[in-house]
């Protein structure tokens, strides 16, 4: 009986199982065009993306392919999808999930120009029609897949129309509450999977299927991070740290680094992103990332400076092969210098790769798995020598952890490092038939054939030299990782086509900056060295010009470290150190470090057969080997050059003289114009000058804009000439909001006239445009001190003299200890004195002196003056009542800051130059009514008889109020409202009294300069009549 009951129960269970209703399959409707249909795929029934999707989803899903070749989304398009049988079938299918990929054909010139305004509405109506059949349908919109530059419609507008269509698709997703995925992403760097530039093959279709599968299931393989995030990594300091990764859709990801903890939720495309706050330098941190299922933990994380080192073989060149490796090895054990070394699976040696390597490279798996190394001799020997020396100097200078990411690939062309999206828009022709076109260097094409084969089937294989390939494999995986900048050594594989490289190089910079989300990311690059290849002089000069035109770039000269027969010079230490100089100066604001060697600014015809070359960074120019300067040449016609002699005139001037007597009107000058050059011009830091070619222009007689007058200029006497140098103004529409201040570099010899003006003859230039410094006339010449350029305060000091032929000679003197501007200066007894101003950007009480008789001592700090700091005071040397030599300091002001209220001084101070050098009070200047007068912003000079004459300056009441609380209309008043000092005031040191020698509105200026001629005539030079309004007046005053 018990057995019978068991049998009956088992039978009943079997009956229930066979009669229960089957679980309904989830229906997926794939709506689209020929890409959904599977056009061009040989077995589309099996390999179209919907067919492959069905296999991925498994038996619980029913996938319908409702693709129609040539279909447009727009109803007024040339083949509207809504009018097709496939559209009707898709609606009748009443899918639970609808995946829509339409819009590619709408970018046809028959459609988009006329009907693009219909696109969004027609897309919404299609979605509404699917929802009408199944109100619960889950709609997934796929943004449109790539169209390659090989497609015949790319140049006819498809590129721009496709961008517009993609933006519209994203709008539709937001408008309808649909999910958005992107068919562009999986095919972005896989152009070989789209033979006709439009339709993916079976492998490409599988990538689309995988994209849809992940969107439907939310399965993105769990928590993942780019490989660059790992143990021992260095994270960029002082910058928000954005961490991007993937995880299953909808999961919460938590990232912890040190004391910082942030979370994010993964979107429907498996993406998550968090941003950690900026951190200062640190070591020994742990970073954890978890999604609740998997936990990633990275130990020994450092925070410091991170740089990318990229390019071709001279960047890849390992330390173990350098000439200095034995000596460098002693410095290689440094756990705070770390490398993320990205090494290739296969090097591009002249041999065919096995099929296994080709398959890896075809799938963008070119680099071996990488990790962060703490550098020692063992790990550093494989590292880029240039990058190691660069990192070593940064470590020594900054005293923080330094991380270098190196992905350089020998032989790679510039085009390989450009983002395909950038290349497709800027230079699409480079991508077309790259193995045979004229944009790629022939040896590069040859080497690719040697590695992959040259038959038609082999041409479909990918290669690291292929345009955009190394960006896809070496840069895109790093995208978003925070770095300080990039160093780049590349060009050897592009030197045959200079004009193409001039277009490609900015695209590399643009691509890198886009990848790292830094529009102004510093990009430092090496100029090619010397080698016996004919095109290299022109290529080097092209690189020089690129450094001037591509913002945020700087160039490292290597022409002195070349090898006539070897493209890989082994002396990499100077190259890495020069990269570090550029970084320390330009990125880390170490302005005391000279960033580069002499760089030509302009070439001017100064006399028949004679050219004056002006240089930047020319301080201490000399020949590197003690021999005369060589390899300078002049020509009237480009290509017909004659040797020329070169004479260093000053720190920034070289005079070039033709040795060809018939060459009296040269139009071109060049230097180091040999493939392998022995050019020998260097500066005081022994940094080589770039090789170059410049057109020769007629020497200008003035600087554009200076006719409006200048203030804050340097002025005085030099070699018996009245000199004005530098200064600044607002040359056009000065009172307009946002008017730009211009700085000048010209050195002018002034010849006063009878009308309050002077004839100004341009006789030379300062090292750079500058103003707001101080001047001191000395028996040897005019000393100019500090000031500011348009971008930064300055430390430099120089003496101006005038040569027998009337040209200005600028000789450097010891630099100031810190940058100083808006101070006062004077000369007394062989010394130059500087008082007040802004020191390091802050109002100062400092007094400095320089012994012109012993420059080796440099600047010496004397006793600071008491009381308030003083900006724009006046300083003069004379004697006290007892006849002892002293300095007099009057006026000056200081804005509020550092807990200090704004101040303006009218009182005077006296500094004894003999004895212990003490400060004491001096009489304040007073007007005829006995009221104290402000000399701040004015000028003071000492006459031969010892009297001090002061002129100009701001009104104490008006200006102090402006310092405390500047009114919005402060700049808009007429000249007389500002009440600048219009008195010529004389101080008698013997009597210790002030008198007003004259009331002269012509002297009512601020920021004027002055000179005293040997016959005691005072010249008041330039200045401003009111804020922003300058004058060209040169007023002669004789007492």
Look up tokens 């590069």; give the residue. 444
* Closest residue by Cα to residue 718 from 757, 748, 698, 746: 748
Cβ atoms of 936 and 959 within 8 Å: the answer is yes
Higher pLDDT: 485 or 665? It is 485
What integer pLDDT is reported at residue 316 of this predicted model? Answer: 97
Q: Domain ranges in the chain?
A: 26-217, 599-698, 714-1037
pLDDT band at 608 (very low <50, low <70, confident <90, very high): confident
Q: Which of 288-292, 631-635, 668-672, 915-919 has the lowest mean pLDDT?
A: 915-919
Mean of per-residue pLDDT scores for the chain: 94
pLDDT, one tens digit per residue, over 735-778 is: 998 899 999 999 999 999 888 899 999 998 898 999 999 999 99
pTM of the model: 0.76
Is pLDDT above 50 for 9? no
What integer pLDDT is reported at residue 21 of this predicted model? Answer: 57
Mean pLDDT value across residues 130-145: 97
Cβ atoms of 158 and 146 within 8 Å: the answer is no
pLDDT, one tens digit per residue, over 384-423 is: 999 999 999 999 999 999 999 999 999 999 999 999 999 9
Here the tokens at position 84 are 């097709």
Cβ atoms of 130 and 140 within 8 Å: the answer is no
pLDDT, one tens digit per residue, over 202-228 is: 999 999 999 999 999 999 999 999 999
Is pLDDT above 60 for 844? yes
What integer pLDDT is reported at residue 754 of this predicted model? Answer: 81
What integer pLDDT is reported at residue 845 of this predicted model? Answer: 97
- What angle separates helix 202-217 from helix 49-57, to the nearest 10 degrees? 40
pLDDT, one tens digit per residue, over 851-898 is: 999 999 999 999 999 999 999 999 999 999 899 999 999 999 999 887
Q: What share of the chain is helix, strand, coil (3-state, %, to 5)?
A: 25, 30, 45
Cβ atoms of 947 and 986 within 8 Å: the answer is yes
CATH architecture of 26-217: 3-Layer(aba) Sandwich (3.40)
pLDDT, one tens digit per residue, over 901-950 is: 999 999 999 999 988 889 999 999 999 999 999 999 999 999 999 999 99
Using CA atoms, how far residue 835 sits from 617, 877, 911, in Å, is 28, 12, 11
Residues in Cβ contact with 117 at an 8 Å cutoff, skipping those fewer than 6 apart? none
CATH 1.10.40.50 assigned to 599-698: no
pLDDT band at 344 (very low <50, low <70, confident <90, very high): very high
Round to whole Å and give the CA distance between 472 and 189: 6
Round to whole Å and give the CA distance between 214 and 201: 20
Here the tokens at position 282 are 């640190």
Round to whole Å and give the CA distance between 1010 and 206: 80
Round to whole Å and give the CA distance between 806 and 93: 93
Look up tokens 């060209």; give the residue. 1032
575: how many CB neighbours lie within 10 A of its CB?
A: 25
Here the tokens at position 897 are 């800051």
Is pLDDT above 50 for 10? no
Question: Above pLDDT 90, what percent of the chain?
Answer: 89
What integer pLDDT is reported at residue 633 of this predicted model? Answer: 96
* Closest residue by Cα to residue 875 from 862, 889, 863: 889
Cβ atoms of 786 and 797 within 8 Å: the answer is yes
pLDDT band at 16 (very low <50, low <70, confident <90, very high): very low
Is pLDDT above 80 for 12? no
- What angle separates helix 85-93 from helix 119-133, to the nearest 10 degrees? 40
How many residues are present in the chain? 1039
* Closest residue by Cα to residue 539 from 506, 492, 583: 492
pLDDT, one tens digit per residue, over 236-281 is: 999 999 999 999 999 999 999 999 999 999 999 999 999 999 999 9
Round to whole Å and give the CA distance between 359 and 498: 34
Using CA atoms, how far residue 353 sits from 282, 345, 349, 445, 780, in Å, is 44, 11, 9, 15, 72
pLDDT band at 661 (very low <50, low <70, confident <90, very high): low
Give 702-706's long-range contacts (Cβ < 8 A, gap of 24+): 702/746, 702/748, 702/760, 702/762, 703/744, 703/745, 703/746, 703/762, 704/731, 705/729, 705/731, 705/732, 705/742, 705/744, 706/731, 706/744, 706/746
Is pLDDT above 50 for 14? no
pLDDT band at 732 (very low <50, low <70, confident <90, very high): confident
Which residues are registered as beta bridge partners of 524? Answer: 487, 554
Question: Above pLDDT 70, what percent of the chain?
Answer: 98
Is pLDDT above 60 for 4? no
Using CA atoms, how far residue 269 sits from 167, 181, 245, 246, 717, in Å, is 18, 6, 11, 8, 73
Round to whole Å and give the CA distance between 583 and 397: 11
Round to whole Å and give the CA distance between 401 and 383: 17
What strands lie across the sheet with 714-718, from one edge to the other?
714-718, 721-725, 746-752, 758-765
Q: Which of 7-16, 104-113, 984-993 has the lowest mean pLDDT?
A: 7-16
Round to whole Å and give the CA distance between 434 and 455: 15
CATH class assigned to 714-1037 = mainly beta
């Amino acid at each position: 009986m018990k057995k019978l009951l068991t049998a009956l129960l088992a039978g009943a269970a079997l009956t229930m199982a066979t009669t229960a209703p089957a679980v309904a399959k989830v229906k997926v409707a794939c709506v689209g065009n020929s890409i959904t249909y599977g056009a061009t795929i040989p077995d589309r029934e099996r390999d179209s993306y919907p067919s492959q999707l069905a296999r991925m989803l498994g038996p619980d899903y029913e996938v319908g392919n409702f693709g129609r070749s040539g279909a447009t989304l727009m109803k007024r398009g040339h083949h509207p999808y809504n009018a097709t049988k496939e559209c009707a079938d898709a609606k009748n299918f009443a899918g639970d999930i609808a995946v829509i990929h339409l819009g590619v054909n709408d970018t046809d010139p028959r459609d988009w120009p006329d009907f693009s305004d219909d696109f969004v509405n027609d897309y919404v109506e299609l979605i509404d029609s699917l929802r009408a059949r199944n109100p619960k349908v889950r709609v997934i919109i796929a943004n449109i897949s790539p169209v390659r530059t090989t497609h015949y419609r790319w140049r006819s507008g498809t590129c721009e129309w496709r961008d517009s269509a993609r933006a519209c698709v994203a709008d539709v997703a937001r408008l309808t509450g649909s999910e958005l995925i992107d068919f562009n992403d999986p095919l972005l760097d896989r152009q070989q999977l789209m033979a006709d530039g439009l339709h993916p093959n079976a492998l490409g279709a599988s990538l689309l299927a995988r994209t849809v599968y992940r969107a439907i299931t939310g399965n993105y393989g769990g928590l993942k991070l780019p490989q660059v995030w790992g143990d021992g990594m260095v994270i960029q300091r002082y910058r928000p740290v954005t961490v991007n990764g993937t995880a299953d859709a909808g999961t919460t990801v938590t990232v912890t680094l040190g004391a910082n903890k942030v979370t994010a939720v993964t979107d429907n495309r498996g993406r998550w992103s968090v941003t950690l706050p900026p951190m200062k330098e640190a070591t020994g941190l742990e970073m954890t990332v978890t999604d609740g299922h998997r936990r990633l933990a990275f130990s020994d994380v450092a925070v410091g400076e991170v740089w990318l080192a990229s390019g071709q073989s001279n960047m890849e060149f390992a330390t173990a092969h350098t000439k200095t490796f034995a000596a460098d090895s002693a410095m290689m054990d440094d756990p705070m210098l770390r490398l993320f070394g990205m090494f290739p699976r296969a090097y591009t040696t002249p041999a065919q790769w096995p099929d296994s390597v080709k398959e890896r490279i075809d799938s963008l798996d070119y680099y071996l798995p990488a990790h962060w190394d703490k550098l020692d001799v063992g790990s550093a020997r494989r590292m880029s020598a240039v990058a190691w020396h660069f990192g070593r100097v940064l470590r020594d200078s900054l005293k923080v952890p330094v991380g270098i990411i190196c992905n350089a690939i020998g032989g790679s062309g510039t085009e390989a490092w450009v983002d395909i999206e950038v290349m497709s828009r800027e230079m699409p022709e480079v991508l077309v038939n790259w193995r045979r076109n004229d944009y790629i260097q022939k040896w590069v094409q040859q080497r690719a054939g040697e590695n992959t084969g040259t038959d038609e089937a082999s041409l479909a294989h990918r290669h690291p030299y292929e345009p955009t390939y190394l960006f896809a494999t070496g840069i895109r995986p790093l995208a978003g990782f925070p770095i300080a900048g990039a160093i780049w050594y590349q060009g050897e594989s592009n030197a045959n086509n200079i004009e193409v490289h001039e277009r490609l190089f900015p695209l590399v910079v643009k691509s890198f900056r886009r990848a790292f989300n830094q529009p102004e990311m510093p990009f430092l690059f090496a100029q090619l060295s010397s080698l016996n290849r004919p095109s290299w002089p022109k290529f080097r000069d092209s690189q020089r010009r690129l450094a001037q035109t591509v913002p945020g770039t700087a160039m490292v000269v290597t022409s002195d470290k070349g090898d006539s027969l070897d493209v890989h010079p082994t002396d990499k230490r100077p190259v890495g150190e020069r990269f570090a100089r550029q970084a320390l100066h330009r990125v880390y604001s170490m302005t005391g470090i000279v960033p580069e060697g002499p760089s030509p600014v302009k070439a001017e015809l100064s006399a028949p057969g004679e050219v004056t070359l002006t240089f930047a960074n020319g301080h201490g120019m000399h020949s590197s080997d003690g021999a005369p300067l060589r390899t300078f040449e002049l020509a009237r016609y480009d290509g017909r050059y004659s040797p020329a002699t070169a004479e260093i005139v000053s720190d920034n001037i070289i005079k070039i003289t033709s040795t060809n007597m018939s060459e009296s009107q040269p139009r071109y000058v060049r230097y180091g114009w040999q493939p392998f050059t022995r050019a020998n011009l260097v500066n005081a830091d022994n940094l080589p000058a770039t090789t170059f070619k410049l057109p020769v222009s007629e020497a200008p007689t003035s600087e554009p804009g200076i006719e409006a007058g200048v203030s804050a200029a340097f002025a005085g006497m030099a070699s018996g000439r009245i000199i004005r140098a530098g200064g600044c103004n607002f040359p056009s529409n000065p009172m307009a909001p946002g008017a730009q201040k211009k700085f000048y570099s010209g050195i002018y010899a002034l010849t006063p006239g009878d009308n309050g003006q002077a004839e100004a003859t341009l006789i030379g230039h300062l090292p750079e445009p500058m103003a707001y410094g101080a001047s001191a006339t000395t028996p040897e010449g005019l000393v100019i001190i500090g000031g500011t350029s348009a971008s930064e305060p300055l430390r430099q000091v120089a003496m101006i003299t005038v040569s027998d032929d009337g040209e200005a000679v600028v000789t450097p003197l010891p630099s100031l200890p810190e940058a100083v501007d808006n101070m006062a200066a004077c000369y007394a007894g062989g010394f130059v004195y500087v008082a007040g101003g802004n020191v390091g950007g802050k109002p100062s009480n400092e007094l400095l002196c320089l012994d012109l008789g012993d420059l080796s001592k440099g600047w010496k700090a004397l006793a600071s003056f008491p009381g308030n700091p003083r900006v724009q005071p006046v300083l003069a040397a004379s004697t006290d009542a007892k006849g002892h030599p002293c300095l007099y300091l009057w006026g000056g002001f200081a804005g509020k800051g550092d807990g200090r209220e704004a101040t303006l001084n009218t009182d005077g101070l006296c500094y004894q130059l003999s004895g212990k050098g003490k400060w004491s009070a001096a009489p304040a200047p007073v007007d005829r009514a006995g009221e104290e007068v402000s000399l701040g912003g004015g000028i003071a000079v000492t006459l031969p008889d010892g009297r001090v004459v002061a002129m100009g300056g701001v009104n104490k009441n008006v200006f102090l109020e402006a310092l405390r609380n500047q009114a919005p209309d402060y700049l808009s008043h007429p000249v007389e409202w500002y009440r600048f000092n219009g008195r010529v005031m004389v101080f008698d040191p013997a009597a210790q009294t002030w008198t007003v020698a004259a009331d002269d509105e012509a002297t009512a200026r601020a920021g004027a300069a002055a000179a005293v001629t040997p016959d005691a005539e005072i010249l008041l030079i330039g200045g401003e009549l009111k804020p922003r309004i300058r004058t060209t007046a040169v007023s002669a005053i004789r007492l």
